Amino acid sequence: MFPFRALVLEDHAFQRAVAVDMLRQLGCGEVLEAADGAEALLLLQSSGPVDVALCDLQMSGMDGLEFMRKADLLIGSVILCSDLSPDLRHTVMQIIAMLGIKPLGDAGKPLQLRRLQDLLENCQPLSKAIVPTPFVPELPSEQELCDGLKRHEFVPFLQPKLDLVTGQVKGVEVLARWLRPDRGLLTPSAFLPAIERCGLLDVLLFELLASGLVLQRKLLRLGYSLEFSYNLHASQLENGSLVSRVQALLEGHGIPAGKIVFELTESAQFEESVTHLENLVRLQMMGCGLSIDDFGTGFSSLRRLCRLPFTEIKLDGEFVRGLTQQPRSRAVIENTLALAKSLGMTVVMEGVETREQHQELLALGCPLGQGYFYARPMSVWAFTDWFSQSVRSATLHLGYPRPNYGESCLIY
């Protein structure tokens, strides 16, 4: 079934024999075994690499962690077989990935045949498991960026935020995409560092804001009052004209400030100055919402909540990924929800990807969610179709023709 070359690293003779037998039952043609890391390393150096290794962590001599660090080029994938605490095993899985080895999962102890079979489903032969370093294209020049902005090639993509209880769309996050005639649709990683380097963040923000307000106004006329969120880099708070420009745009499109949220990335460098604080206070005085994005991934989350006038917490998706298996991730979510309630703030859970995660968040009382389980970021025309279906009404006639993103381009 699984014609892999495998290694079992286990210091307990009986458990090692059980693991070897299970791998052979599952079709592994050659199964090596070792009682400690040093023995396993010598074995691989003399006989060649393996597609998958079942590794214990605690053993006399060279432990499993040291072995994996020294044998990273000789192992395609790893399955942990350890009785350490779930928190420690979760951390070890992150270390394995950082070493460039594919972590297949945690089998725990005692080893179960069905669990092992499920984990091996994601294993690949070593020759296929090693992925070459992807080509990183050269960042665009300032002139290319300016030309693209002048030609309105930077377009908004929308990712919905949903009420977890009712399933209603409460708002969208407006994200930037670059529709280049010569390269198709580009995601922010291909241009945002250059935008920041060239001092064009404000130009991009107001380009997206203007486009978003047009759509928001059309939705309002049809009776749909959605909240639109925009990413705001901390450095943009140094702009003394930021608030007045935002206010002028909102008034020009007839959009209430209460339907606009600015998401400030929590991990971004942020030096509190008079101008920064004044802009945040004026935005909230105007009625705009302020969201602390990627909450929990930096070192100043609680300090910022105390000092800055945020109205919303966006909890980083890392915590929802560990929700069903990591007690600490669940504790972080539960306590963030309690903290937000005591501060009169709302919480949006990012990165929801499965029904199981959705159900768990619902049980914990999380009010809002965002992620691929609900919808990926999509173009305006795609959002129009998607939203029409979500409200079970006729197609919304907002006057947006379907653009040509190229045959090979995805819409997200």
Q: Scan for tokens 């002048």, then name that residue.
A: 150
User: Is residue 405's pLDDT more than 50?
Assistant: no
> What average pLDDT does range 109-138 have in this prediction?
73
- How far apart CA 112 and CA 255 sit, in angstroms, is 58
Lowest-confidence region among 137-141, 167-171, 234-238, 254-258:
137-141
Q: Which residue spans of the chain are classified as CATH 3.40.50.2300?
A: 5-129
The pLDDT assigned to 134 comes to 44
- Helix, strand, or coil (residue 51): strand
Specify the pLDDT at position 412. Answer: 29
Percentage of residues of the chain with pLDDT beyond 90? 53
Q: So what's the pLDDT on residue 271?
A: 59
Look at residues 411, 349, 348 and name the one whose alpha carbon lies nearest to residue 378. 411
What stretch(es) of the chain map to CATH 3.20.20.450? 142-390
Q: What is residue 180's predicted lDDT score, i.e. its pLDDT?
A: 87
The string of pLDDT tens digits covering residues 232-281 is 998 899 898 999 999 999 999 999 999 999 998 754 455 567 888 899 99
Per-residue confidence (pLDDT) for residue 298, from 0 to 100: 59
CATH number of 142-390: 3.20.20.450
Q: How does pLDDT run across 357-385, given as a tens digit for each residue?
A: 999 999 999 999 999 999 999 999 889 88
Fold type of domain 5-129: Rossmann fold (3.40.50)
Q: Which of 173, 318, 350, 360 is catalytic?
A: 350
Give 39-50 pLDDT, tens digit per residue: 999 889 888 899
What is the distance, to the nearest Å, from the Cα of residue 354 to the centroid of all Cα atoms in its chain? 13
Lowest mean pLDDT among 158-162, 225-229, 313-317, 365-369: 313-317
Residues 6+ apart with CB under 8 A from 377: 157, 158, 159, 173, 175, 177, 412
Please give the pLDDT value at position 185.
85
Closest CA to 216 of 387, 79, 95: 387
pTM of the prediction?
0.70
DSSP state of 410: -
Give the confidence band of 127 by pLDDT, cuts at 50, 70, 90.
Answer: low
pLDDT digits (tens, 9 = 90+) for 316-331: 888 998 887 788 889 9
30 is catalytic: no
pLDDT at 27 over 70: yes
CA gyration radius, the chain = 25
| pLDDT at residue number 269 | 54
- Decide if pLDDT at 171 tops 80: yes
